[in-house]
Structure 1
Amino acid sequence: MSDGSMRFNAPRRAIAGLSHCMLTLTLHSLERDGLVCERLAHARQRTERRSS
């Protein structure tokens, strides 16, 4: 991931063949390990994640 925040589908667009399910599982695992944090953006109730 990058140093800034990104929306959920950004990694899916960047990595060919990455399924929605696998991205979800991977992000949850990274959050649990403290490597990624999730935040809710106020404008449109969208979720962004960033490296910890």
Structure 2
Amino acid sequence: MLGYAVIFFIIALVAGILGFFTLASAAAAIAKLLFVVFLILFILSFIFGKRRI
């Protein structure tokens, strides 16, 4: 999932450089969303993954 966030971030950068601001903002929004979801899942797995007995 982090890979998708990086891919959409790169697409946003390339589109921003080329002048496609609508596409750049959409790709940046998707990248931000995927990064936040990845971060939340990482924190939850870190907290709950350590409970092995």
Q: Which interval holds the TM-score relative to the shorter structure?
A: 0.3 to 0.5
Say which structure is richer in helix. 2
TM-score, length-normalised on structure 1?
0.35
Say which structure is richer in strand. 1
The structure with the largest alpha-carbon Rg is 2
